[in-house]
Amino acid sequence: MNQRNGQRYWRSLLVIIWVWLTAILFSENWYKGNLHCHSFWSDGREFPEMVAAWYKENGYHFLALTDHNTVATGEKWANITSAEKNHGLLAACQKRFPQNGVITRQKEEKLLAQLRTFEEVQKLIEEPGRFILIQGEELSAKYLDVPVHVNIININQPIDPLLGTDAASTLKKNVQAALKAAGEKGLVFINHPNYRYALTGEDLAETEACFFEVWNANHWISNNPEDDKHPGTEKLWDIANSLRLLKLKKPLLYGLATDDAHSYHDFAPNKANPGRAFVMVKAKELTGSAILQAIREGNFYSSTGVILRESKFEPKEKRLTVEVQPDENTQYTIEFIGTLVKADSQPEKIIPSEQPAEDQQGKKAPVRFTSVYKPEIGQVFLTVRGHRATYILTGNELFVRAVITSNRPVPWLPANSGIYQKAWTQPITLFVKDSS
């Protein structure tokens, strides 16, 4: 090999190494996770290490433990009831994690078990590159009988819920407190807005939070689908984003799908079981900071079973592309949904609040309704049957999102429920800076 050829060889080798290193350093992977679940630290019916183990062993990459108004620090003892003893939960946990065992004590007729802290569970469960845990809290406030819940992800100390003068002001106060506690490195989202129909589309529009649960799989209390009086959570999403962009100049609201799991053994449609809803996050690495940063940037989609091969928006081409990872004998419908810039954002009809029966203290809270808007708020721009579709923005769209629906019913509901497995991409806009 002469000197010139030798120089070419080494230059080529350096180029190959540079391309290889660039691919490694800047590549991103999809990670599956759940950001809402409960354990014995509040009203979940399982030890936190067993909750984390379930998700790890069922193909998840990350999990946020989000018990009500607490985080798993300090000393806490759980009352192991007779029903839970019959499940053998304590024995199963002792067997699965024999390291130091679970400390128990008898108090009168109660069997108490000391719960492991978040850090202790991390040491038992986490595995670099395969599974991580993120600590969180479900900030659970209530105005009279109306629940107002907000999740805070990546928090070390719990904060207390605050009370407002009505449901809307209660939401505002708790979101502000949550955002302050989470800081720039955390994540705050609004939970199950249709739980007891606590929150309206207008509430979601006004909030300072940039995330909410478009699907909460604690199905029987979450009221995700629409009914004859209330819009479903998807419609709330479109109403909120239309108002945020047209009137309020707020960033887009992103939609999460979560389990809100409480029950890990009695699997039934009316139980809050794990494995029903999740987010798929495209991140550079499997770390808490990388996952949360990707979510804040909108690099994720939400799902109840549909897996995407690609979800990509190319700003220069104004092109939104969605491709499903197809299952055999499964059909898919891809819809691109949004609102036009010139849409009328005035409600067609404002439904007056109704008064429910008084509570035990003689107090009552009004049942609140989202206003009725014209069909152009959250209209379908394009429908494609198949596993791949592209939508080119014309510049007239205020925002666009995609929803992918399969012909497979969700497996935990009766086949005739009319509720099918879905995936939701995050909305994109050309007019206002996205959520961050």
Domain boundaries, the chain: 27-76+115-425, 77-114
Closest by alpha carbon to 411, among 260, 219, 250, 281?
219
pLDDT at 377 exceeding the cut of 90: yes
Q: What is the CA radius of gyration of the chain?
A: 24
pLDDT at 353 exceeding the cut of 70: no
- 20: pLDDT confidence band, cut at 50, 70 and 90? very low
Q: Scanning the structure block, which residue is given the tokens 């630290």?
A: 41
Question: What ranges make up the beta strands (E) of 168-230?
Answer: 187-190, 211-216
Q: Scanning the structure block, which residue is given the tokens 């495209």?
A: 282
At residue 9, the pLDDT reads 62
pLDDT at 250 exceeding the cut of 80: yes
At residue 432, the pLDDT reads 61
Query: Which of 11-15, 288-292, 413-417 has maximum average pLDDT?
Result: 288-292
At residue 25, the pLDDT reads 46
pLDDT at 76 exceeding the cut of 50: yes
At residue 19, the pLDDT reads 41
Of 248-262, 330-344, 358-372, 397-411, the poorest mean pLDDT is in 358-372
The percentage of the chain sitting over the pLDDT mark of 90, rounded to a whole number, equals 80
User: Where does residue 353 rank: exposed (0-12), middle (13-18), buried (19+ CB within 10 A)?
Assistant: exposed
At residue 399, the pLDDT reads 98
Both structure tokens of 171: 């939401």
At residue 21, the pLDDT reads 44
Mean pLDDT confidence for 417-421: 92
Q: Scanning the structure block, which residue is given the tokens 């014995």?
A: 40
Q: Is the distance from CB of 48 to CB of 18 less than 8 angstroms?
A: no
Which has the higher per-residue pLDDT, 221 or 169? 169
- pTM for this predicted structure: 0.91
Q: Give the angle subtended at the CA of 423 by the CAs of 34 and 323, to the nearest 5°.
A: 120
Which is it for strands 211-216 and 254-258: parallel, antiparallel or unpaired? parallel
Note the pLDDT tens digit of each residue in 170-219. Answer: 999 999 999 999 999 999 999 999 999 999 999 999 999 999 999 999 97
At residue 17, the pLDDT reads 57
At residue 114, the pLDDT reads 97
Of 49-53, 160-164, 274-278, 362-366, the poorest mean pLDDT is in 362-366
Positive or negative, the CA dihedral 212, 214, 215, 219 is positive
Of 56-65, 108-117, 170-179, 348-357, the poorest mean pLDDT is in 348-357
Mean pLDDT (the chain, rounded): 91
pLDDT at 8 exceeding the cut of 70: no
pLDDT at 80 exceeding the cut of 60: yes
- 23: pLDDT confidence band, cut at 50, 70 and 90? very low
- 5: pLDDT confidence band, cut at 50, 70 and 90? low
Question: What's the Cα-to-Cα distance from 157 to each of 47, 154, 160, 182, 239, rounded to whole Å?
Answer: 20, 10, 10, 10, 34
Q: State the Cα–Cα distance between residues 67 and 72, nearest whole angstrom.
A: 8
Note the pLDDT tens digit of each residue in 297-332. Answer: 999 999 999 999 999 999 999 999 999 999 999 999
**Which helix H or strand E contains 4, and what residues bound it?**
helix 3-26
Mean pLDDT confidence for 339-355: 84
Count CB neighbours of 174 within 10 A.
27
Both structure tokens of 227: 């009914």
Closest by alpha carbon to 427, among 204, 200, 185, 179?
204
Q: Is the distance from CB of 50 to CB of 22 less than 8 angstroms?
A: no
CATH class of the domain comprising 27-76+115-425: alpha beta
